[in-house]
Amino acid sequence: MVKDLTQGKSVKVLFIFCLPLLISAVFQQLYNMADSIIAGKVLGEAALAAVGASYPITMIFTAIALGCNLGCSVIISKLFGEKNFTDLKSGVSTILISVTALGAVLTAAGIGLGNPVMRLLNTPEDIMGDSLTYLYIYIGGFLFVLIYNVCTGIFSALGDSRTPLYFLVSSSVANVGLDLIFTMVVPMGVSGLAWATFLAQGFAGVLCMLTLFFKIRKIRSDEKPKVFSVLLLRQMLYVAIPSIIQQSFVSVGNLIIQSIINGYGSSVLAGYIAAVKLNTFVLTTLTAVAGGLSAFAAQNLGAGKPKRVKQGTAVSVVMALIMVVPFSLLFSLLPDTMLKLFLEESSALSVSTGIKFLTIVSPFYAVIAVKLMLDSVLRGAQSMLAFMVATFADLFIRVILCYALDPVLHTEGIWWSWPIGWTAATIVSTALYLSNRWYKSQRAKSIFSALDPRPVPAEYALTSSEENDDSKAVEKDAENPRAL
Of 21, 316, 6, 5, whose CA–CA distance to 149 is shortest? 21
**Burial environment of residue 224 by CB neighbours within 10 A (0 to 12, 13 to 18, 19 or more):** exposed
How far apart, in Å, are the Cα atoms of 268 and each of 260, 352, 353, 358, 479?
11, 9, 6, 14, 52
pLDDT at 443 (0 to 100)? 42
Q: Report the pLDDT value the prediction gives residue 32, as an integer from 0 to 100.
A: 67
Distance CA 160, CA 87 (A): 19
Confidence (pLDDT) at 66: 78
Judged against a pLDDT cut of 50, whether residue 397 lies above it is answered with yes
Residue type, 268: V
2 pLDDT band (50/70/90 cuts)? low
Instruction: Assess contact for 168 and 155: CB atoms under 8 A.
Output: no
- Residue 477: the pLDDT is 36
Average pLDDT across the chain, whole number: 79
Q: Length of the chain, please?
A: 484
CB neighbour list of residue 120: distance below 8 Å, 6 or more residues apart: 259
Predicted confidence (pLDDT) at residue 351 exceeds the cutoff of 60:
yes
Average pLDDT, stretch 307-331?
89
Structural domain spans, the chain: 10-451
pLDDT average, residue stretch 361-389: 85
* pLDDT at site 368: 92
pLDDT at 272 over 50: yes
Average pLDDT over residues 380-390: 76
| 132-190 tens-digit pLDDT | 998 999 899 899 989 988 888 888 788 787 787 787 788 888 888 888 899 888 888 88
* Mean pLDDT of all residues in 336-357: 78
Confidence of residue 453 (pLDDT cuts 50, 70, 90): very low
Determine the average pLDDT of the residues in 234-254: 73
Rounded distance between C-alpha atoms, residue 268 and residue 351, angstroms: 8
Residue 224 has pLDDT above 70, yes or no: yes
- Give the per-residue pLDDT at 457: 46
Res. 3 pLDDT band, cuts 50 70 90: low
CA–CA distance, 420 with 364 (Å, rounded to integer): 9
In this predicted structure, the answer to whether residue 447 has a pLDDT above a threshold of 70 is no
Q: Which of 90-104, 221-235, 239-253 has the lowest mean pLDDT?
A: 239-253
Kindly state the average pLDDT of the residues 224-243: 80
CA distance readout (Å), 45 to 40, 51, 268, 272, 389: 5, 10, 10, 12, 38
In the chain, % of residues over pLDDT 70: 85
Least confident of 33-42, 86-95, 313-322, 377-386: 33-42
Asked whether the predicted pLDDT for residue 306 surpasses 50, the reply is: yes
Is pLDDT above 80 for 94?
yes
Closest CA to 418 of 375, 368, 353, 349: 368
CB atoms within 10 A of CB 180: 15
Residue 402 has pLDDT above 90, yes or no: no
End-to-end CA distance of the chain: 43
- Cα(433)–Cα(232) distance, rounded to whole angstroms? 27
pLDDT value, residue 40:
74
Q: Does residue 328 surpass a pLDDT of 90?
A: yes
Model confidence at 464: pLDDT above 50: no
pLDDT of residue 237: 80
Whether pLDDT at 484 is above 60: no
